[in-house]
Amino acid sequence: MSGGIRRVGVVGGGQMGAGIAEVCARAGLDTVVCEVDAVAARAARDRVAASLDRAVRRGKLERAAAREALDRTVFTGSLEDLADRQLVIEAVVENPDAKTEVFTALDKLVEDPAAVLATNTSSLPITRLGMATGRADRVVGLHFFNPVPVLPLVEVVTSLHTSAATVAAAEDFAARALGKTVIRSQDRAGFVVNALLIPYLLAAVRMAESGFATAADIDAGMELGCAHPMGPLKLADLIGLDTVASIAESLYDEFREPLYAPPPLLQRMVEAGLLGRKSGRGFHVHERDEVGRVG
C-alpha cells in the first residue's frame, strides 16, 4: 500500500473504539467511526470529544489540535460509509457472533482488495474472523490497550492466512502513523498480554471471593508491595468486568486450564451489571467520567 494508510474506519464507538478513533484523528488520519445508528454515533462523538477535552485540560494537547482532530472525524450510523477505507478496525463487543457479522459485512463493502481488515479483539481467534471473509490474507489483529490515547502498546496478531504484506502494513500503521510500540503474537487465545494478565486478575477475584482479603487490601498489597501502578481489582474495573470474563472464557475454552476459568463472583457481578468504571461500580465505586466537548 504505497504511501501508507491515510483513510481509517473504526466499527464501534465504545470505550475502545472511541480511543482508537481519537489516536487516529490526532495522528492526522482521515477517520470514520461507524456505530449501529445515529444516536449511538452521536454518543461516540461525545465520548471522543470528552477525551480530547481532558487531554487539553491536562496540558497534553493544544485546544486547536483537539478541534482539528474532532473536525476530521466523521461519525456515522451506516457501515456503507466505510467503503473507501484503506484500513478498518473492528472494535465491537467481545462476542464471536457479533464480530463475525461485522467482518462478513466489511468483506462485501470495502472496495479496495488491498485494504486491511483488523480486529481489536482481546482474545478471539483471528483465523475464525478471517474465514468469515473472502480475503483472510488481509485480516489481522490490532489489539490496543485501554486507555488507547495513553498506553503505548499494540499487539499485532497474525493468523495462519495473514500475508506478510498485511503484517507490514499493520505494523507500519501502528508504529509510524500512531507512534505506538508493536509486539507480535501468534493466533492463540489471550495473545501475549492477556494470557499473562488474566490469570493474575482472576486470582485476585478468587481471593476477594473467598474473604481472604478485601478488594482495597488486595489492591494496596500489589501497589505498595510490588510497585504495580494499579492493583488487580482496580485494573479489572478499568478493563470492564464483562470484558475480563469474556477473555477468561475464551482462554478456558482454548486451553482448559482451571486458572483461566472465570470465578462465580465475577460471573454474578457481570449478570448484575456491576461492570466496573463504565457502570460506576465493580469491585470499587467509581465516579462516571463526565461528557465534555471540544469547543
Q: Which residues are catalytic?
A: 122, 143, 155, 194
**Burial category of 31 from C-beta neighbours within 10 Å (exposed 0-12, middle 13-18, buried 19 and up):** buried
Cell (9 digits) for 68: 482539528
Cell (9 digits) for 244: 475480563
Residue of 45, 258, 1, 282 lying closest to 140 (CA atoms)? 1
Which run of H or E residues covers position 279? none
Beta bridge partners of 140: 118
What's the rounded Cα separation, in Å, for the pair 121 and 102? 12
What's the rounded Cα separation, in Å, for the pair 172 and 4? 8
Give me the amino acid identity at 223. Answer: E
Tell me the C-alpha to C-alpha distance, in Å, between residue 283 and each of 69, 249, 291. 35, 20, 23
Q: Are 47 and 2 in contact (CB under 8 A)?
A: no
Which run of H or E residues covers position 10? strand 7-11
Give me the amino acid identity at 167. Answer: V
